[in-house]
Structure formats: structure tokens, C-alpha cells
């Protein structure tokens, strides 16, 4: 159970409409948190909100594209009259997956805006009052992509690497102020976004996590920052810390061709 007295009474979940975000919303609502859910698609967003309200908590929704600077103001306006003790940033699924020289610069900037710019803006807004209150939590959802570059995910992987280093630094800054910071590193997870991307889940030896398990494990690890790798992916992370980067990248390219049918790196 996630402690409302430490992290409540309100939680903001950016990317809270489906997959891991929806499971986080469900579990936090079950623990008594009021929620502000943020996502692009109004339909799934409202469905998740209604399911949370059925558990007896208040839920506000903000249908917004986080690559639009106006989204930050919309979220902060929606929370201006409540105390947010938990920020979850789970809105970084878009990768613009293509070689850098073949893609358009605007698409890559969108990856940076979603994974870095908006994350920094929301974290900066909510972390300062948490620090003053000497309690709160910030959970930033990361990815194994941040441990190695691939030919079609150079920008996305770089953005996720930034997120991990940022989380470590923020954890060091806030740990003596009662604010817990965690980057939750996800591997392959059976989410609607990954299914839409055409990812294969039947590759032999592939560890696939379920959203409910990821949400439960992430919330349980919140106080044990700065980084937590979802169970089943620890060995892969260890292999990706090798100093032989050329061999690692070349090997990862072969795996990507199995996971994503149209990967042409």
C-alpha cells in the first residue's frame, strides 16, 4: 500500500490513461489517493478516471498533448487548489523510431519535448513545494532504451538516458528533504502502446512484464531510489553497462530486428 500521509493527498499521473499509467491510477485510487490524470486521448482517459472514481476518490482529467507548451499550464491550473504530494511522469512512449538521417527534425524535437522538456517543467513545478513540506514523491518512468543506442532510437534512447541521470541528481538533491525520487526502468511491457508499435512478445527468451505488476513494483520501490529496474531485466541492464560499446550496440541491433519486424537498422 502506498502511504497517503507521505505522498498524498493528490497524485498527478502524466500518461495516466492506459497501460502502466492506468494501473498506477487504479492502485493509487485503491489506496485512497485523489488523482489528476493527464493524457492525449479523451476516451481512454475518461474510462480510467471513471474506474478510479468508482473506488471512492476524486479524479480530475486533463486531455492534453504534453509536447504542447500550453499543456503544462493546463495541468498546473487544474491542481492550483490542491496539494500534490506525488508526481508520476509516465508519458514518454513516443520514439519517432527511424534513423536520425531519415527522420524529420520536428519529429525528433517532439521526442525531446515529451521525454525531457515537459518532464522537467512538471517536476520543477511540483518538487519545490514538496521540498518545502519535507514530504512527497516523484516517480519518473524510464526505459531500457536509455542504456544503449540503436540505429532507429538514437534520440529516444538519449532522452531516456537523460531521464535516468536527472533522476539520480534530483534524488541526491531532495533525499535530505523527505522527498523520494525514483526512476522506474521498464523493459518490454505488454501495453497498448507497444502493441500498436507492432512489438513482438513471442521472441524466445524475452522477458515480458504485465502493467499491473510494473505499477505495483514501482510504487513499492518509490522510497528506495534513485533507480529501480523492473524485475526480470536486471541481467540485461548489467550487460548494457559494458565498456565494449561497439559490440553491445551491434548485438542490440540484431535483437531489435527480431522484436520489431520493420526495424531496418
Domain boundaries, the chain: 4-259
CA distance 140 to 20: 12
Q: How confident is the model at residue 169 (pLDDT cuts 50, 70, 90)?
A: very high
Using one digit for the tens of pLDDT, what is the confidence trace for 233-243? 999 899 898 88
Q: Report, as residue numbers or ranges, the catalytic residues.
A: 156, 160
8 Å CB contact between 198 and 262: yes
The pTM of the full predicted model, rounded to 2 decimals, is: 0.91
Architecture of the CATH domain 4-259: 3-Layer(aba) Sandwich (3.40)
Compute the residue count for the chain: 265
Mean pLDDT for the chain? 92
Return the pLDDT at 259. Answer: 67
Amino acid at each position: 500500500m502506498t502511504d497517503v500521509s507521505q505522498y498524498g493527498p493528490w497524485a498527478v499521473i502524466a500518461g495516466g490513461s492506459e497501460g502502466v499509467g492506468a494501473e498506477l491510477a487504479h492502485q493509487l485510487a485503491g489506496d485512497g489517493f485523489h488523482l489528476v490524470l493527464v493524457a492525449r486521448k479523451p476516451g481512454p482517459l475518461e474510462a480510467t478516471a471513471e474506474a478510479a472514481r468508482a473506488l471512492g476518490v476524486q479524479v480530475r482529467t486533463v486531455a492534453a498533448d504534453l509536447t504542447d507548451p500550453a499543456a503544462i499550464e493546463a495541468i498546473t491550473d487544474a491542481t492550483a487548489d490542491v496539494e500534490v504530494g506525488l508526481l508520476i511522469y509516465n508519458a514518454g512512449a513516443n520514439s519517432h523510431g527511424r534513423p536520425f538521417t531519415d527522420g524529420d527534425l520536428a519529429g525528433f524535437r517532439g521526442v525531446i519535448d515529451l521525454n525531457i522538456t515537459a518532464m522537467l517543467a512538471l517536476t520543477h513545478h511540483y518538487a519545490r513545494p514538496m521540498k518545502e513540506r519535507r514530504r512527497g514523491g516523484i516517480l519518473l518512468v524510464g526505459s531500457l532504451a536509455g542504456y544503449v543506442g540503436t540505429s532507429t532510437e538514437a534520440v529516444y534512447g538519449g532522452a531516456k538516458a537523460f531521464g535516468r541521470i536527472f533522476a539520480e541528481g534530483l534524488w541526491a538533491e531532495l533525499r535530505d528533504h523527505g522527498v523520494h525520487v525514483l526512476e522506474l526502468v521498464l523493459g518490454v511491457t505488454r501495453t497498448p502502446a507497444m502493441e500498436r508499435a507492432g512489438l513482438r512478445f513471442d521472441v524466445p527468451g524475452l522477458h515480458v512484464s504485465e502493467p499491473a505488476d510494473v505499477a505495483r513494483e514501482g510504487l513499492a520501490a518509490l522510497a528506495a531510489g534513485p533507480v529501480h529496474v523492473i524485475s526480470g531485466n536486471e541481467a540485461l541492464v548489467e550487460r548494457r553497462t559494458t565498456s565494449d560499446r561497439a559490440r553491445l550496440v551491434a548485438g542490440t541491433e540484431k535483437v531489435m530486428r527480431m522484436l520489431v519486424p520493420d526495424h531496418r537498422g
